[in-house]
A and B are shown apart, each in its own frame.
Chain A
């Protein structure tokens, strides 16, 4: 502390400051540039093939008649099963781990493994779904088997997000509630969950976005690629948007690539809509509290 402040270093430090800032800007740009390239390419190839008929038609052998209707309806049907199943299971699991479970070796082991599961390749979940839902529970290659497989895939992501959201609720307001004679459940239901819901929803949105774009596990549990009906029961045959897109890209003629690009545009728009709805729900909750 006896050394004098060295003014000759100021210039160097200011320079470093500027350099670091530019490194971060460039890192961000890399992601943005590739995103722009991807969107630009997809738009330039696919926009011409977009039409109302493309949304309304079933897959067809001729490009002019091909459509994504079965895929759109299949994806929506699947997400409307996957979302409630995985959210109910995920939030209940997170509540147990954060609020009820004692902190011992066993629960710590579970916590670490839930986090590991969130990083397991999706194809592994496909194999799990094939073993359990398709064969063991004899569901076959049906919508419900696919949706439950997807629920398993997103479950760890939702559990981890919900755990973090629940943990970030300040302990002071829990104490205030318990100190007034509220039971643990009343405290969770009236205080902890309302405060944690924005965080839980944010995590769930990201998880569902992943689910709606997944193909690999569904190939294994038997989603169809060409199907001429929309799911009308839990045990219907089904396809989803990414499956349909995947099957188009696999065809030899170049024009099918453009049809696939059109499919990607539709998929992206539906993803954006889902996220917008969820963000809106989240903001609504935040305003109330």
Chain B
């Protein structure tokens, strides 16, 4: 795995005095889809949110160990967290559009990064909405409030909003858990499509989803990384007994 996006070494994380992650060691490859699975409370979302330092919005969080992105320490003092979050975008569990028009939602990222020209913004918005496979559904109502869209459409607008800042990595925190099966299918197809240009790390409750779309799978349990391997291998021939128990439905 010469081409790695993230390299995590001996990483621990605490919420106050509760330890949520134990000694995580993991190399996440570029331009592939890596799924993180595991039962609720196993630390998979925490691990994901650490990768763009969103965990730092919680004041009591403490960490040890190192995480490198593209060969650079993400916790380095001189590194600005805003830059990291621009290169490592995030899509959340619940669709969370801003209470603004569809256009303003997607244009938000470019605007905060200093793009003012209407012409450029128009192009970015169109490209991002097309990239998120929602352009055909909304191109004639870009000025309407994004809350008027269905949940699945909102989530794709949120993905478009994330694409508009042109990240290298997209973190997805159970992006389909609040959606119906048809919207889920659309988003899954979109994720596979996005793989060409982005490194994608997706946390999911849904093992079938991980099996369907990912190249690699991480299985986590009680804050520990149990197994990390090729998705086909992990689901057909797990090395660890606990992984086998989980994927065959003996618990979780």
A binds B: yes
Q: Does A178 contact B (CB under 8 A)?
A: yes
Q: Does B22 contact A (CB under 8 A)?
A: no
Residues of B within 8 A of A29 (CB): none
Total CB contacts across the A-B interface at under 8 A: 66
Q: Which residues on A are within 8 Å of B, measured CB to CB?
A: 102-103, 170, 172-173, 175-183, 186, 190-191, 194-195, 289
Contact (Cβ within 8 A) A176 B96? yes
Residues of A within 8 A of B109 (CB): 180-181
Given A102-B59, A180-B86, A289-B99: A190 in contact with B54 (beta carbons within 8 A): no
Q: How far is the CA of A194 from the CA of B54 in the complex (A)?
A: 23
Contact (Cβ within 8 A) A190 B112? yes
Given A178-B54, A180-B165: A173 in contact with B59 (beta carbons within 8 A): no
Q: Could you tell me how many residues of chain B have their Cβ less than 8 Å away from some Cβ of chain A?
A: 28
Q: How far is the CA of A102 from the CA of B92 in the complex (A)?
A: 26
Contact (Cβ within 8 A) A179 B52? yes
Picked from A102, A172, A175, A191, the residue with its CB within 8 Å of the CB of B54 is A175
Q: How far is the CA of A172 from the CA of B85 in the complex (A)?
A: 16
Residues of B within 8 A of A176 (CB): 92, 96-98, 158, 161
Nearest CB in chain A to that of B105: its residue:
A176
Residues of A within 8 A of B94 (CB): 172
Map CB proximity to A onto B133-171 as digits: 1 under 8 Å, 0 otherwise: 000000000000100000000000010011001000000
Contact (Cβ within 8 A) A179 B92? yes
Picked from A103, A172, A186, A194, the residue with its CB within 8 Å of the CB of B112 is A186
Residues of B within 8 A of A194 (CB): 99
Residues of A within 8 A of B98 (CB): 173, 176-177, 191
Q: Does B100 contact A (CB under 8 A)?
A: yes
Residues of A within 8 A of B158 (CB): 176
Q: Tell me the dominant secondary structure on chain A's binding face.
A: helix
Q: Nearest-CB distance from B228 to chain A (Å)? A: 25
Contact (Cβ within 8 A) B162 A180? yes
Contact (Cβ within 8 A) B82 A173? no
Q: How far is the CA of A190 from the CA of B145 in the complex (A)?
A: 16
Residues of B within 8 A of A183 (CB): 82, 112
Q: How far is the CA of A164 from the CA of B110 in the complex (A)?
A: 30
Contact (Cβ within 8 A) B112 A182? yes
Q: Nearest-CB distance from B219 to chain A (Å)? A: 25
Q: How far is the CA of A183 from the CA of B111 in the complex (A)?
A: 12
Given A173-B99, A289-B99: A179 in contact with B112 (beta carbons within 8 A): no
Map CB proximity to A onto B60-87 as digits: 1 under 8 Å, 0 otherwise: 0000000000000000000000111110
Point out which of B92, B99, B113 has the most chain A C-beta atoms below 10 A from its C-beta.
Answer: B99
Q: Does B20 contact A (CB under 8 A)?
A: no
Q: Nearest-CB distance from A283 to chain B (Å)? A: 15
Nearest CB in chain A to that of B84: its residue:
A181
